[in-house]
Amino acid sequence: MAHYGVIADLHGNLEALQAALAFLDRRGVERVLCLGDVVGYNADPNACVSLLRQRGIATIAGNHDRIAVGALGLERCSSIAAHALRRTRRALDAASRAWLRDLPAHQAVEQRLLLTHGSVDDVQRYLWTYDDLRDNHRLLEREHPGTTICFFGHTHRAALYRSVGGQVVELAALGEVMLPAAPNAVYFINPGALDAARKVVGERWAELALFDSARGVLTFCRLRYDHAASERKALRGGYRLGPLARGSRWLSALPRRALAGTARRLRAVWRDR
Ligand SMILES: [Fe+2]
Ligand SMILES: [Fe+2]
């Protein structure tokens, strides 16, 4: 039993990773778990790998990590991801490449917690729908029996689901949540993405979670970090596609308040649709 910090999808964003680790240190977590996609999209893949290694953080492989070392191809990537991953492949040093290559696909913690990046049987498959979650519950029963909590990443969306007897329910991924144990129930938990560069404009938060396994209490957290610095480095380092880079510069020149208002209006339209 321990007090964990759970992070995912940092994608070479050193500013977000440093902010997250400083926060987890202040909260006194005993162990940090990382759900993969250490690299891709941002300009500091080697520094992120090195920080995770120095801190001895338990890390599993994400699809970007596999693609960055050539263990998977670029066929299932968007053009933005493929562009950033080609750049990452050129930037990785030998030590980072070796560390990434050795990352496991899954890791069990305390026997009942399992870390996976995407689906249990396919690192590139997203857990978006209730059918995806039901399939993964069956896979866990077959391949990782005894798992009651499955941490996953890849969707870049903080989420919490409870699956029992073929029924999946989504619970609010907000603040502190008690996870009472129940026979045959599995909780699927996504802490959200540390790298906020691909989120809606105006919502540049690093997302992560705390989990107290002794009390069964999960806490979703959001942190400010210096996203402008990481974005500048990504643009300068050529990690952004041309039109996107130009769009980002144009957006960053707009007044902050106007952007926040637009984001609010878009969210309202989305809610009311
Ligand atoms: Fe990711
Ligand atoms: Fe991913």
Extents of the domains making up the chain: 3-240, 242-273
In this predicted structure, what is the pLDDT of residue 258?
A: 63
Which residues of the chain carry a pLDDT beneath 50? 246, 249, 252, 272-273
- Amino acid (one-letter) located at 187: Y
Pick from 85, 59, 87: which is nearest to 72 by CA? 85
Q: What is the Å distance from ligand 2's center to 200 Cα?
A: 18
Q: What is the Å distance from ligand 1's center to 121 Cα?
A: 17
In this predicted structure, what is the pLDDT of residue 265?
A: 67
Residue 212 bridge partners (DSSP)? 3, 217
Q: How many CA atoms lie within 13 A of 79 on its CB side?
A: 4
Alpha-carbon span 98 to 53, nearest angstrom: 12
In this predicted structure, what is the pLDDT of residue 257?
A: 58
Q: What is the Å distance from ligand 1's center to 156 Cα?
A: 6
Alpha-carbon span 131 to 146, nearest angstrom: 21
Q: What is the Å distance from ligand 1's center to 183 Cα?
A: 32
Q: Are 50 and 27 in contact (CB under 8 A)?
A: no
* Element at 32 (helix H, strand E): strand 31-34
Q: What is the Å distance from ligand 2's center to 124 Cα?
A: 6
Q: What is the Å distance from ligand 2's center to 259 Cα?
A: 27
Q: What is the Å distance from ligand 1's center to 86 Cα?
A: 16
Q: What is the Å distance from ligand 1's center to 37 Cα?
A: 5
Query: Parallel, antiparallel, or unpaired for β 58-59 and 31-34?
Result: parallel
In this predicted structure, what is the pLDDT of residue 249?
A: 47
Ligand nearest to the CA of 62: 2
In this predicted structure, what is the pLDDT of residue 90?
A: 98
In this predicted structure, what is the pLDDT of residue 1?
A: 86
Structure confidence by residue, pLDDT tens digits, 98-135: 999 999 999 999 989 999 999 999 999 999 999 999 99
Q: What is the Å distance from ligand 1's center to 255 Cα?
A: 29
In this predicted structure, what is the pLDDT of residue 198?
A: 80
Q: What is the Å distance from ligand 2's center to 115 Cα?
A: 13
Rg, the chain, Cα only:
18
Q: What is the Å distance from ligand 2's center to 64 Cα?
A: 6
Which burial class, exposed, middle or buried, applies to 250 when counting CB atoms under 10 A from its CB (0-12, 13-18, 19+)?
Answer: exposed
Q: What is the Å distance from ligand 1's center to 15 Cα?
A: 16
* Residue 41: strand, helix, or coil: coil
Alpha-carbon span 60 to 151, nearest angstrom: 11
User: Integer distance in angstroms from the first to the last C-alpha of the chain?
Assistant: 44
Alpha-carbon span 53 to 99, nearest angstrom: 8
* Element at 219 (helix H, strand E): strand 217-223
* Whole-structure pTM value: 0.88
Ligand nearest to the CA of 157: 1
Tokens representing 10? 């940092």
Residues 6+ apart with CB under 8 A from 26: none
User: Considering the domain 3-240, what is its CATH architecture?
Assistant: 4-Layer Sandwich (3.60)
In this predicted structure, what is the pLDDT of residue 261?
A: 66
